[in-house]
Each structure stands twice: as C-alpha cells, then as structure tokens.
C-alpha cells in the first residue's frame, strides 16, 4: 500500500496518469491491487528484459540528472533571486525538476 500512496501522491498528482509503466518485475508492481489499478487507469504495465542493463541505465541516468539539478540548487543556497529579483526557495522548484 505504501507504493500505491507514493504513486498516487507523487506521480499521478503531479504528472497525470502514465500510459506505460516499466517495471523490473518487482512483486510490488505485479500484485492484484496494481493489476486492477492499471486496468482502471488504462495504463499498460511493461517489464524490462532480464539481463538488459540498458533499461536500468536509462533510469539511473535520469536519477543522476535530477540529483545534479537538486545539488546545484543546494550549492547556490537555499534560495535564489530570479530575473525580477523575486526570492524563491529551491524546495518550491522540486516539482519542476520532477516534471523535467
């Protein structure tokens, strides 16, 4: 159920319903609950191929990119001023990073 709440609050709420979810055959994503949810949301579940590191590599590269962006926010301080000199806090920008 924790995975379902994370999905609902973080993925569906910010990005909408995905058309396809690629999983590594983790039982969390193949349980009856998830199968029924995929049917209701018209989402296709695709599995990564066993011993095919390219699929994992794509995900790992995206995670690294997000870490780099968040790291830059932290290096330049907890806040920044935009071109109009308004102060913004980096936490507010996290949904933008997630969407990117």
The mean per-residue pLDDT over the stretch 55-71 comes to: 78
Is the domain of 41 the same as that of 57? no
Residue 65 sits in the same domain as residue 95: yes
Angle, CA of 24, 26 and 12, to the nearest 5°: 85
Domain span at residue 16?
Answer: 1-47
Domain count, the chain: 2
**Helix or strand run (H / E) with residue 87:** strand 87-89
Please write down the long-range contacts of 50-58, taking CB distance under 8 Å and 24 or more positions apart: 55/22, 55/24, 56/24
pLDDT at residue 79 greater than cutoff 70: no
Residue 77 has pLDDT above 70, yes or no: no
Q: Are residues 39 and 66 both part of a single domain? A: no
| Tens of pLDDT, residues 15-34 | 778 788 777 777 777 788 77
What is residue 8's predicted lDDT score, i.e. its pLDDT? 73
Average pLDDT over residues 72-95: 67
Residue 61 has a pLDDT of 81
Please check whether residues 58 and 94 belong to one and the same domain.
yes
Same domain, 32 and 60: no
**pLDDT at residue 97, rounded to an integer:** 72
C-alpha dihedral (80, 85, 87, 88), degrees to nearest 10: -60
């Amino acid at each position: 159920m924790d995975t379902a709440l994370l999905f609902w609050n973080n993925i569906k709420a910010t990005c909408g319903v995905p058309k396809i979810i690629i999983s590594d055959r983790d039982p969390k994503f193949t349980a009856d609950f998830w199968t029924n949810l995929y049917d209701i949301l018209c989402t296709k579940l695709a599995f990564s191929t066993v011993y095919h590191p390219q699929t994992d590599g794509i995900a790992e590269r995206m995670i690294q990119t997000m870490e780099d962006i968040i790291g830059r926010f932290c290096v330049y301080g907890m806040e920044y001023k935009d071109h109009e000199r308004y102060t913004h806090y980096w936490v507010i920008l996290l949904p933008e990073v997630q969407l990117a």
